[in-house]
Amino acid sequence: MGSSYFYLEFLIAWLSLLKASGFRNPAIFTLEYTLVPDQAYPVQLQQALSAYKNICANHDPGRIVVSGDSAGATLILSMLLHIANDNKEQSSLERGVKVPAMAVLISPWVTLVSPRDKNTPSDYLDADNLHLYARQYAGSKVAVHDPLISPGNCKDVEWWRRASPSKGFYFCYGSEEVFAPEIRDLVQLFNVAEVKVGSREERGGIHAWPVAALFLSSTTAQRQKGLRVIVESIREGMGI
């Protein structure tokens, strides 16, 4: 659980659907970042940023889509805020890290500790355990409510505009998951801030339902439903 190997079938199916949708030569790079309690912030953010810089050194950021689910999606949001923050403090000649073309986020853990996190009858996440893991991730170096570690606490619309990928965000999540209220709030904030954003709230869906469907559904159409939604959002966003 939680490793790149766990997602192997999901990623291979994703790659196949990208090809079928019109992308001539898509590639997927997965980051094996260190989990808690082995390491805490900022190790995971540094690993994500290092991986992104490595990809940008060989590929045009305008052709890169960053993505993740759950805590991985949180790292994507944190990384974008970090890049925007660094770029603001540097001169235009020093800005070496550009934002990607698009960010596709599956059930992001938007706010690490929120009173709106409530267990639901159908979702498999537990709010108390999540808050425990959140504090382990924050460790002793940063407050668990700091926007750089808990992106949902960033209400600065100008910061989000600077962090926004050139072709915007896309959120895919379930209506029944613990994180749903915080995800809805962030999508609404982006709309108010005029940050380009699209979203799909799956009625009755649980946490990371596109991933769960691949393992739990019984037909090909049901297994690939979430992935097809995501691929279509990327195809439209990237203008394919």
Distance (Å, whole) CA 81 – CA 224? 31
pLDDT of residue 90: 56
CATH of domain 32-226: 3.40.50.1820
B/e letters for 199-209, b = 16+ CB within 10 Å, e = fewer, are: bbbbeebbbbb
With residue 158 as reference, give the H or E element that holds it.
Answer: helix 157-163
For residue 177, what are the CA distances in angstroms to 14, 61, 199, 202, 203? 23, 32, 15, 10, 10
- Which amino acid type is present at position 128? D
What's the pLDDT score for residue 93? 40
Q: What is the mean pLDDT of the chain?
A: 94
Give me the percent of the chain exceeding a pLDDT of 70.
96
Tens of pLDDT, residues 126-162: 999 999 999 999 998 899 999 999 999 999 999 999 9
**Terminal Cα distance for the chain, rounded:** 33
Instruction: Categorize the per-residue pLDDT at 60 as very low, low, confident or very high, splitting at 50, 70 and 90.
Output: very high
Q: Which of 216, 130, 102, 122 is nearest to 175 (CA)?
A: 122
Q: Can you tell me the mean pLDDT for 90-119?
A: 86
| CB distance 78 to 42 below 8 Å | no
Distance CA 214, CA 236 (A): 23
The residues spanned by each domain of the chain are 32-226
> What is the tens place of the pLDDT at every residue in 170-218?
999 999 999 999 999 999 999 999 999 999 999 999 999 999 999 999 9
**Residue range 45-69: average pLDDT?**
96
Q: What is the pLDDT of residue 141?
A: 84
Q: What is the pTM of this model?
A: 0.95
Task: Give per-residue pLDDT as tens, 110-126.
Answer: 999 999 999 999 999 99
pLDDT confidence of residue 42: 95
Q: Is 174 helix (H, G, I), strand (E, B) or coil?
A: strand
